[in-house]
Amino acid sequence: MLRVKAGDVDRMGLLFERYHRKLFGFLYHMLGRADTSEDLVQTVFYRMLKYRHTYTADGEFRTWMYHLARNVLADHIKKNRHSTHHADVADFAEKIGGGTQADESLQREQEVATLHQALSHLSAENREVLILSRFQELKYGEIARVLNTTEGAVKVRVHRAMNELKTIYLRIEN
């Protein structure tokens, strides 16, 4: 990223190849819509180019990327307050959740779908920390830097989110 900052804009391609899946995953879990998430991936990379001078060498690139992604997400949500979220997830969960097969793999699939559904019921704040720590595999310290808070606060929030998720999950399953 430092080379991009120094004007070697072509290097951005490398960063795109390395990180766009993760970024897409983050946005997808936050929004539940694949098409919108793709648009936002594009927006995040555009902002990286535009605001590359704000990148400092001491921060990790991933942290900076999620920081920008959160801003893009917040802008998007502000703009589309009235549209429905998690449409894909709900459809997905309904389709699979309707089955009654005892087949083990299907049962597993159903569990996953239920959890996915549970995840979409979490508050955005709690969902965010879970996604960052479970899917993006960020350490508490890194998450703290993304969210501008302390490591202790992140730890507490992840625990709370996990408990909430567990409760929702069990409620849906029964």
Residue 29 to residue 57: CA distance in whole angstroms: 29
The window from 23-31, 61-69, 71-79, 99-107 that contacts another protein (CB under 8 A) reads 23-31
Question: Can residue 162 be called a binding residue for another protein (CB under 8 A)?
Answer: yes
Measured in whole angstroms, the distance separating CA 159 from the mean position of its chain's CA atoms is 17
Contacts of another protein in 43-102 (CB under 8 A): 45-46, 49-50, 53
Question: Can residue 18 be called a binding residue for another protein (CB under 8 A)?
Answer: no
Given the structure tokens 């430092």, which residue do they identify?
2
33: Cα within 13 Å, side-chain hemisphere: 14
Residue 79 to residue 87: CA distance in whole angstroms: 17
Question: Can residue 16 be called a binding residue for another protein (CB under 8 A)?
Answer: yes
Pick one of 65, 72, 119, 143: the residue that binds another protein (CB under 8 A): 119
Query: Which residues have CB under 8 Å from 72's CB, separation 6+?
Result: 40, 43, 44, 47
Question: Can residue 24 be called a binding residue for another protein (CB under 8 A)?
Answer: yes
Pick one of 2, 14, 18, 21: the residue that binds another protein (CB under 8 A): 21
Pick one of 30, 41, 72, 143: the residue that binds another protein (CB under 8 A): 41
Question: Can residue 134 be called a binding residue for another protein (CB under 8 A)?
Answer: yes
Q: What angle in degrees, to the nearest 10, is found between the helix axes of 104-121 and 87-97?
A: 150
Compute how many other C-beta atoms are within 10 angstroms of the C-beta atom of residue 47: 17
What's the full length of the chain, in residues?
A: 174
Instruction: Report the amino acid identity of residue 30.
Output: M
The window from 12-20, 67-75, 79-87, 98-106 that contacts another protein (CB under 8 A) reads 12-20
Question: Can residue 145 be called a binding residue for another protein (CB under 8 A)?
Answer: no
Pick one of 2, 3, 13, 94: the residue that binds another protein (CB under 8 A): 13
Closest CB to another protein among residues 75, 111:
111
